[in-house]
Structure 1
């Protein structure tokens, strides 16, 4: 008698990453419609979601029972999401935290499918964490240079979708009002207008002058690249819906050979060289575009270049689907 098919449970239907996640799951035929369970945290009516030509109902998280044969993907953050992670782990399910709920917990393994998927086999717990979209892109871009990395400075220009679906809706409403000649209402959660603006920070500053998201980016990069690389980061928010761009200043432990660096980057997994990449070029793509490679004017050991990617489709949804595939097939 064959074993029952394992289930994929997704928590957070109203997350910005949900639509591209569902799209890639269907494109890759990772699971059948009958294996998919959709949950929402809020106690509200949510329309069924179409997957594999079937309507999949959205259930309330509070009434759902987890089982050992499930892989649970958590797209949202907050107390209810943290409680769900605990309940799913206690039931024996594998959990992939894509909402940052477990960031800072050293017992949780941070997994990038291209860089350290083998770490799943030795994970301390059945809870894994997906790196933030910014960290996933930057880590992929730096991976070909890992053996000679000394220090990295990251200037990440993140889109409004990095702040969540509510921020996307807020910027859309602000844009519509401004085009009709009305004053745009400032998002109270952010404190600044999102439409036609650039934010030096989209959240409160800590005593160090960094934001929590910036320290989280450092944390994820260190988990993926190792503690031996010195790094600092800055995250700005720009007035686009999707697509992220990072300017990287990379110090190597030897004089930089631009042709060698270019060759290494050109051979990187899911990396594609482009002369002047833009966020628009990357949206909808499954690769990270690398461009503007140049010798720094400050040091012979330093090279500068930029990385561009689709933050939702590639760095969240695609990475999530690849890890889910590994968990369903091998664990």
Structure 2
């Protein structure tokens, strides 16, 4: 009796990451059209999606039956996503959480395909988590510094797409209204205009002064680079649709020359050194741009540099597809 064919199930078609995810899946030939299942929550009116020149219908999540031969990608959060995760895991499917449903659960392995994909074989559960887009970019930029890294401070300027498709649509509408001489409608959940603005925080602040996204970034970085490295983070929201930029201040355990640090970063996987990187240059690309490297004037063991990448394509879609490929092929 032949084995059932492997399937890829994507939950969350109405998500900012969905289109680039589908594009990368098709570019890399990870799955055929007849292996792809698309799901949304009940009452969501979503048209069929084109993949490999085929129309793929979007089914109702609540009526779907999960199976062991499936790899399930969760692009959604919330109660429906949590229920789907539990059902898929019970059925024996692999689940890749892209939306932070499992953040804080130490039984779920956080996997970056370039750095620790070998941990999949020893995963406690058949549930894996993808690091946030910001964490994925930053950890790649830090990886060449290896065990010499003592501390890192992250100042991340995230694009509006990091807040979700609704925020992208809201900023587009605000921009159109302002160009027409009208007042922009402000989402009360964010509390500020997104168009032509720079937000110190797009979320409510906790007692510590951090917001939840900043703590999530710190959490993911610690899971990937180890608890021995001190980490702090601040996330601003910039009025751009796509492309993230992080200013990094790293402290090394001993004094080294600027050229040695430059050489290490220049040899990093998926890193490209440029003089003055911008988010516009990074969007649509498959590498992280590293630039503005300089030694701190405050401490000879500190170095400042920036990292820029396409948050949706490179740090979410590409990483997700690489993990899906490993799961479909080896597990």
Q: Is the contact between residue 9 and residue 70 of structure 1 (CA under 8 Å) also seen in structure 2?
A: yes
- What residue number does 1:73 align with? 73
Partner in structure 1 of residue 313 of structure 2: 313
Q: CA deviation at 1:42?
A: 4.2
Q: How does 1:175-194 map to 2 (within 5 A)?
A: 175-194=175-194
1:222 is the counterpart of 2:216: no
Correspondence list, 1:159-174, <5 A? 159-174=159-174
> Separation in 2 of the partners of 1:26 and 1:99?
22
RMSD over aligned Cα atoms: 0.7
Secondary structure in 1 aligned to 2:104? coil
| Cα distance in 2 for residues equivalent to 1:309 and 1:45 | 32
Using the TM superposition, give the Cα deviation of residue 13 of structure 1 relative to its aligned residue in structure 2, in angstroms.
Answer: 0.2
Asked if structure 1 preserves the Cα contact closer than 8 Å seen for 2:294 and 2:304, the reply is yes
2-side partners of 1:82 and 1:129: how far apart? 13
Segments ≥4 residues shifted beyond 3 Å: none
- Alpha carbons 1:256, 1:302 under 8 Å: kept: no
The residue that corresponds to 1:282 in the other structure is 282
2:318 aligned counterpart, secondary structure: helix
SS in 2 for 1:30: coil
Partners of 2:4 and 2:97 in 1: CA distance = 25
Within 5 A, what are the aligned runs for 1:234-273? Answer: 234-273=234-273
State the distance in 1 between where 2:121 and 2:127 align.
12
Q: By how many angstroms is 1:2 displaced?
A: 4.2
Matches within 5 A, 1:1-331: 2-331=2-331
Answer yes or no: is the 8 Å Cα contact 1:111–1:130 preserved in 2.
yes
Aligned-pair distance for 1:274? 0.4
Tell me how far 1:3 sits from its aligned partner.
2.6
Could you list the per-position Cα deviations for residues 208-239 of structure 1 after superposition, in whole angstroms to 9, with x for gaps in the alignment?
A: 00001000000000000000000110000000
CA contact (8 A) 2:40 2:61 kept: yes
Tell me the distance in 2 between the aligned counterparts of 1:130 and 1:44: 25
- SS in structure 1 at match of 2:205: coil
Structure 2: where are the runs of 5+ without partners? none
The 2-side partners of 1:251 and 1:42 are apart by 49
Q: TM-score, normalization: structure 1? A: 0.99
- Cα distance in 1 for partners of 2:210, 2:73 equals 29
Measure the CA separation in 2 of the matches of 1:109 and 1:44. 31
* Equivalent-residue separation in structure 1 for 2:182 and 2:17 (angstroms): 30
Q: What is the TM-score normalised by the length of structure 2?
A: 0.99
CA distance in 2, matches of 1:138, 1:318: 15
Distance of 2:45 and 2:309 partners within structure 1: 34
Say whether the 8 Å CA contact 2:12–2:75 is kept in structure 1.
yes
3-state SS of 1:99 partner:
coil
Q: What stretches of structure 1 of length at least 5 have no aligned partner?
A: none
The answer to whether the Cα contact below 8 Å between 2:42 and 2:62 also exists between their aligned partners in 1 is: no
Structure 1 counterpart SS, 2:216? helix
> Take 2:42 and 2:3, find their aligned partners in 1: how far apart are those partners?
33
Once residues 77 and 213 of structure 2 are traced to their aligned partners in structure 1, the CA distance between those partners, rounded to angstroms, is 13
Contact in 2 for aligned 1:109/1:129 (Cα 8 Å): yes
Question: Paired residues, what number?
Answer: 331
